[in-house]
Amino acid sequence: MMVHIPNVLGAEQVAHCRAVMERAAWTDGRVTAGHQSGQVKKNLQLPEGGPEARELGALVLAGLERSALFVSAVLPQRVFPPLFNRYEPGMTFGSHVDNAIRGLPGMGGRIRTDVSATLFLSEPDSYDGGDLVVEDTYGNHAVKLPAGDLIIYPATSLHHVTPVTRGVRLASFFWVQSLVRDVSKRALLFDMDTAITQLNQEVPKSPAMVMLTGAYHNLLRQWAEP
């Protein structure tokens, strides 16, 4: 299930992110890659746990909390502290699958990566290439969103970033452990929640809405792993 979530960050917040990133010192992006992905990863990254990453990460997390669509689609239990990368001309990230388990830096414990997320911070017309391409049974899906918009997709998916040929691609990326591990169950709950929201606008106070909402929460109660 891929979901486009618009306006996680507004224009002023995006501009602030880019200003902070412009004056930051960057490191080799392979520092957070696993063995397989490290062989195909060629980009730059803000130092994990550095002051810039912490400041901008808090901004991103606050945006996620404000997004009802993100909460509905992901049902987040834990969010990995957002990371930030930079692709200059010639940089790319070959086809890979994200690590299933990641340690939480400075926090102890680990997170299961159910959902992968990329938040675009460069306007799509400011760079060429740099598409996020997610592969599934229905083919390849290329994604290049407006700055401030987020794409989420199953962390089990093969995906890659095409080479940047002009400009600079800036983005935040992170993973989420969902309350509902199974992607098909998560998709069903998302469809139900979307339908409940639409029906509540079209037929408010309908007794059927109470029944449908109850069914949603009973399924969530059955499937959630708190």
Span 51-80, average pLDDT: 97
State mean pLDDT over 184-205: 94
For residue 107, pLDDT beyond 80: no
Query: What is the structure's pLDDT at 136?
Result: 86
Backbone angles phi, psi at 166, to 5 degrees: -155, 140
Residue 73 has what pLDDT?
Answer: 98
Q: Lowest-pLDDT range, 2-6, 46-50, 106-110, 145-149?
A: 106-110
Could you tell me the CATH number of the domain that includes residue 123?
Answer: 2.60.120.620
Question: Do 32 and 114 belong to one domain?
Answer: yes
Whether 162 and 97 map to the same domain: the answer is: yes
User: How much is the pLDDT for 126?
Assistant: 98
The fraction of the chain above a pLDDT of 70, given in percent, is 97
Pick from 84, 83, 80, 85: which is nearest to 103 by CA? Answer: 80
Are residues 209 and 167 both part of a single domain?
no
Above 70 in pLDDT, residue 69? Answer: yes
The answer on 127 and 31 residing in a single domain is yes
For residue 93, which phi and psi values (nearest 5 degrees)?
Answer: -140, 110
Per-residue pLDDT at 49:
87
Helix, coil or strand: residue 113: coil
| pLDDT over 80 (residue 39) | no
Asked whether residue 36 carries a pLDDT value surpassing 90, the answer given is no
Domain that holds residue 205: 183-223
Residue 58 reports pLDDT greater than 80: yes
* Domain shared by 165 and 67, yes or no: yes
**What pLDDT digit, counting tens, does each position of 115-174 carry?**
999 999 999 999 999 999 999 888 899 999 999 999 999 999 999 999 999 999 999 999
SS3 138: coil
Which of these, 173, 174, 152, 187, lies nearest to 78 by C-alpha position? 174
- Is the model's pTM score more than 0.85? yes
Decide if pLDDT at 220 tops 80.
yes
Residues 10 and 107 in one domain: yes
CA distance 9 to 36: 32
Would you place residue 30 in the very low, low, confident or very high pLDDT band (cuts 50, 70, 90)? Answer: confident
User: How far apart (Å, rounded) are the C-alpha atoms in residues 184 and 168?
Assistant: 35
Chain mean pLDDT for the chain: 94
**128 and 196 share a domain?**
no
Nearest alpha-carbon partner for 59 in 218, 197, 172, 144:
172
Decide if pLDDT at 38 tops 70: no
Residues 88-115 have a mean pLDDT of 93
User: Based on the domain organization, do 156 and 190 belong to the same domain?
Assistant: no
Give yes or no: residues 37 and 88 share one domain.
yes
3-state helix, strand, coil in the chain (%, to 5): 35, 30, 35
User: Based on the structure, what is the number of domains in the chain?
Assistant: 2
Phi-psi domain of 116 (left: phi exceeds 0; alpha: psi -120 through 50; beta: other): beta
